[in-house]
Structure 1
């Protein structure tokens, strides 16, 4: 890759370094696209497998302002280059991937020295990134590609581990099962650094502010609470929803099926690109869909087979005869679908989702109510926020297990029944609001980042690591 140094044609240059998961890479890339429209030049730094996956989205127009820069990670027999991503990664190799990512700090330092950007924007699991930036006299800001509620809850739990999480925001109705999930979220350790310590250090080393993927109309009080906890300015960047891809072949396939259906009658069922349902959950969802009698498109995914394992077969994993029984009203698709395109279609009236934050943002933007079936990570918190906002309904678990009757009940409530009208109406109100307000959050983001870079140049980082972004807390003096 040809690396060009520093400021490009008078533009503010930013190096972006996301964690190696699709749910992080995608928001970072959308942020990059938004910034390049506002006189920024972006160096997008990641592993070769991730760079290759986003290369097709880098049009000629984008490539003039977004340069892809490879971050080389050490390889091993267990962790060849194609596994330098969480996509399809066997769970037991997650520690190895984090260890490899940590060891890329020296390579990252060389990249920074060669590029000399005005600013680094980094993710929440690599505290070495702002440290390396600081050694090169470059300010660094953390971008949290989750919601503010999630970030605030995690920060509060890390600061006050014996606290009652359910009492912080009583409106967010967490079950005991979900509280336990949140409390156990970041207890793992790699290279003698617990994930909770990484998050703390990433927060502390961010220069005067934190960026979050959200907007005030849905998370205003959580944004303010997070700012108090961190004693830093928390700047929402908006929903950062990717525009529907112009994949003509895929679009036509699904549009042909959807066009035969009535308005708002179809359900999209998808659990994200990197989560795989257990056979038990898959079976309960299948029977729940069958009992609901609604039309649906269900995206199923299985881990990448390896080590001599046989690839899973869709029909074998689903209940016997299921595909044949629902053939007239259900489409089961393995792998990938143009999710935004389907959500935007007039006949889509519901989204049965794991409540990954990007999926929540997409559903709200396109005015589609959510049937929430959270599985892990931030998803239970996101689902309860969806419930509190009245833009969806949570499928309640029975001792941690999904039940087909509950799946069918919630699907019918949200999609068909009169009691679901409030949810259908509310999510459309949010969609209309987002359409009217446009990109106003991004204007504030640009103002803050430009101010930071300008302050850094004037100071040359001699007296302070960063100048204040708000009165209450700043980066620590050197």
Structure 2
């Protein structure tokens, strides 16, 4: 035994893409709040990236989170292709492949930490499973796979049996026409990458989700039954994002928040499509015309998708229609930098969110009680959009997935904004979204999640 040995040490291994990084850094905060040391392992550039973009708390103030920024081999970093009809961010695949080279330095870290603790717990992104595979050589190590997407989407993708049960559940609610396939969601190269990672994920003791019973109870129950049949465990520890934010009036967001302060309560739609989406000039133009014609107030994030290294190279300035920003200066606010989404969603002026339906964005919007105009682009997003619109009924579709290769015309954008912001249908969605947000906050901030899911997980790893 080592003097002053920790009963447990957690090592967090995210995939170095913003949506994945962000979720596991927030989970690190939740676990470290229980006096458990957490080692957050990332590539050098992406560790810096996620800390710069962090919202709701200061990682420098948390003494039990230790950051390990590790080098990876150079990799090709092509720019995103805004004119591709397939919106999957294939330009980021070289980064994902390069990140698998973290295996050796991660193994070295695990071997260094193993003698300092009774139990070494590795929480890894499902797409970083090959990186942690050597944990099995350590007698006191165990791993848990984190799925960065909804339980709904994970179940459909990973379990034929649970997928069939989910379809029966959907049909029992009267929904008969729907498409829950993954056609067009990934490239063939990325499917192959996922397949390799999922093979090694079988070494883990269970799965962790950024969701909660309030959002996905029936699906989680089906997944739990399936997990138990394979002697695996499951925890829904979310939402990970902070629910009580202290506003910081600094940086590029200050002008945006100052503009929102001048708007009436529940009068603004937030328009943002995440860090992996690039639009053609034609599509940007149609969005601009649709927002302008909607006569609704808006905040629109207009930026290129992240590159493999956001610190390398010039930021591409996205062109808007000539005179647009001048014409809408009283109607809307255009934000060209990376947007602190939580700060915007929590603002009382914001009452709608036009989103790509990445799971981060969905959970943040739900937890803030904001309904969604769903415009999925790739990956799990079409299924998240289905969950939002058809199951939770807190949103509408901007674009059907079957028409994914078509440009969305300004009339469709205008109609989605008007429906969400100015109709009885939209008001009913907003009431359901607000109610869901209240239930989530009660579950997380009250005596719910602390005594159940998170408490159960902490009790398990410190057993």
TM-score scaled by length of structure 2: 0.83
Counterpart CA distance in 2 for 1:8 and 1:322 is 63
Deviation at 1:448, TM superposition (A): 4.2
2-structure distance, mates of 1:334, 1:228: 45
Q: What does 1:108-147 correspond to in 2, within 5 Å?
A: 108-116=106-114, 118-137=120-139, 138-147=141-150
- 2:20 match: 24
CA distance in 2, matches of 1:263, 1:6: 57
Q: Residues 184 and 370 of structure 1: is their aligned pair in 2 closer, same or farther, counting only changes over 3 Å?
A: closer
Q: Give the alignment partner of residue 444 of structure 1, picking from 452, 456, 460.
A: 452
Task: Quote the offset at 1:194 in angstroms.
Answer: 4.0
Give the match for residue 213 of structure 2. 216
Residues 1:149 and 2:164 aligned together: no
Cα distance in structure 1, aligned partners of 2:394 and 2:325? 30
The reply to whether residue 34 of structure 1 matches residue 30 of structure 2 is yes
Quote the residue 1:458 is aligned against.
Answer: none
**1:295-444 to 2 correspondences below 5 Å:** 295-303=297-305, 312-314=316-318, 317-387=319-389, 388-397=391-400, 399-400=403-404, 401=406, 402-439=408-445, 440-444=448-452
* Alignment-derived partner of residue 235 in structure 2: 235
Alignment length (residue pairs) = 431
CA shift, 1:100, in A, is: 2.0
Separation (CA, whole Å) in 1 of partners of 2:174 and 2:361 = 19
**Structure 1 residues 34 and 428, CA gap change in structure 2 (3 angstroms):** same
Moved more, 391-400 or 423-432: 391-400
Q: By how many angstroms is 1:218 displaced?
A: 1.7
Task: Using structure 1 for the length normalisation, give the TM-score.
Answer: 0.80
CA distance in 1, matches of 2:342, 2:460: 34
**RMSD over equivalenced CA pairs, Å:** 3.3
SS in 1 for 2:157: helix
Query: Partner residue of 2:85?
Result: none
Q: Distance in 1 between matches of 2:174 and 2:123?
A: 30
- The aligned counterpart of 2:83 is none
**In structure 1, C-alpha distance between the alignment counterparts of 2:394 and 2:162, rounded to whole Å:** 31
CA positional deviation for 1:14: 0.2
Query: Which of 39, 43, 59 is equivalent to 2:39?
Result: 43
Supply the distance in 2 between the matched residues of 1:272 and 1:365 (Cα, whole angstroms): 17
1:332-366 C-alpha deviation (Å, 9 max, x unpaired): 11122232122111111111111111111111111
CA change 1:417–1:19 in 2 (3 A) is: same
Give the deviation of 1:11 after TM superposition: 5.4
> Relative to 1, partners in 2 of residues 1:167 and 1:318: Cα closer, same or farther, differing over 3 Å?
farther
User: Would you say 1:169 and 2:159 are equivalent positions?
Assistant: no
Q: 1:52 aligns with which of 48, 54, 58?
A: 48
Structure 1, unpaired ranges of 5+:
84-89, 456-478
**Who is 1:264 aligned against?**
266
Match of 1:249 in 2: 250
Deviations 1:171-201 (A, max 9, x none): 596977x645x145456347x9542342243
Pairwise CA distance, 1:51: 1.7
Deviation digits for residues 19-54 of structure 1 (CA, Å, limit 9, x no counterpart): 111111111011110111112110000011122224
